[in-house]
């Protein structure tokens, strides 16, 4: 049975210090992003599928 890939994105969030909208430098799952930053919006072209979490060889980048 094939494991489902972990899908992660970069997210637009509102910086708590400046109040300005910015794009995260890291990728997060939707659940993590919305838990940490309510109202976060994903960057559509930053989608990654991680088939073997923890291994750079397991990352597949796909837009939209």
Is the pTM of the predicted complex or chain greater than 0.85?
no
- Give yes or no for a contact between 47 and 59, defined as CB atoms under 8 angstroms apart: no
Measured distance CA(43)–CA(56) in Å, rounded:
21
3-state helix/strand/coil string of 27-62 = CECHHHHHHHCCCCEECHHHCEEECCCCCHHHEEEC
The model's pLDDT over 18-50, given as tens digits with 9 standing for 90+, comes to: 999 999 999 999 999 999 999 999 999 999 998
Domain map (residue ranges) of the chain? 6-61
Strands 59-61 vs 48-50: parallel, antiparallel or unpaired: antiparallel
């Amino acid at each position: 049975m094939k494991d489902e890939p972990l899908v992660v994105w970069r997210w637009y969030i509102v910086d708590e210090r400046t109040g300005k909208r910015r794009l995260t430098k890291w990728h997060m799952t939707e659940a993590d992003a919305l838990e940490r930053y309510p109202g976060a919006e994903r960057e559509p072209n930053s989608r990654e599928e991680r088939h073997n979490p923890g291994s750079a060889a397991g990352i597949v980048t796909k837009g939209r």
